[in-house]
Amino acid sequence: MTGVPAGCQEARTVLGEHRLLPGDALAAFVVGSTARGWANPGSDIDVVVVSAAPFADDRAVTTRVALVPDTLPVVTFRRGERRWELKYWTAAQVDQVMNKITWSAFEADRRVGDRLTLTENLFLARLRSCVPVFGAGWVEQARRRLDGTAYRSFMVIEALAEADDAVEDALGQLAAGDVESAVLSAQAAFGFAVEAVLAGHGEFGPQPKWRARRLRAAAPEILPFAEYWSIQTMRDFDPERPQEWVRRVAETCRRVAMEVEV
Segment near another protein (CB under 8 A), from 1-9, 69-77, 133-141, 249-257? 249-257
Nearer to another protein, 35 or 250 (CB): 250
| Residue 261 is a binding residue for another protein (CB under 8 A) | yes
| Residue 112 is a binding residue for another protein (CB under 8 A) | no
CA distances (Å), 51 to each of 59, 160, 195, 231, in order?
Answer: 17, 35, 31, 44
What SS3 class is residue 29? strand
- Return all residues near 227 (Cβ < 8 A) that are at least 6 apart: 252
Give the residue, chosen from 24, 70, 168, 238, that forms a contact with another protein under the rule CB under 8 A: 168
Q: What is the spatial distance between Cα 55 and Cα 60, in angstroms, rounded to a whole number?
A: 9
| Residue 248 is a binding residue for another protein (CB under 8 A) | no
What SS3 class is residue 219? coil
Q: What is the spatial distance between Cα 224 and Cα 212, in angstroms, rounded to a whole number?
A: 11
Segment near another protein (CB under 8 A), from 52-60, 95-103, 130-138, 168-176? 168-176
Q: What is the spatial distance between Cα 83 and Cα 43, in angstroms, rounded to a whole number?
A: 8
| Residue 231 is a binding residue for another protein (CB under 8 A) | no
Give the residue, chosen from 27, 31, 155, 171, that forms a contact with another protein under the rule CB under 8 A: 171
CB of 125 to another protein, least distance (A): 22
Supply φ then ψ for residue 32, to 5 degrees.
80, -155
Q: Are strands 45-51 and 25-31 parallel, antiparallel or unpaired?
A: antiparallel
| Residue 254 is a binding residue for another protein (CB under 8 A) | yes
Give the residue, chosen from 155, 167, 197, 223, that forms a contact with another protein under the rule CB under 8 A: 167
Write b or e for each residue in 132-153: b if 16 or more Cβ atoms lie within 10 A of its Cβ, otherwise e.
bbbbeebbeebeeebeebbbbb
Give the residue, chosen from 44, 85, 178, 259, that forms a contact with another protein under the rule CB under 8 A: 259
| Residue 257 is a binding residue for another protein (CB under 8 A) | yes
| Residue 15 is a binding residue for another protein (CB under 8 A) | no
CB of 113 to another protein, least distance (A): 16
* Site size with another protein, rule: CB under 8 A: 15
Q: What is the spatial distance between Cα 80 and Cα 10, in angstroms, rounded to a whole number?
A: 12
Give the residue, chosen from 44, 85, 164, 178, that forms a contact with another protein under the rule CB under 8 A: 164
Residues that bind another protein (CB under 8 A): 157, 160, 164, 167-168, 171-172, 250, 254, 257-262
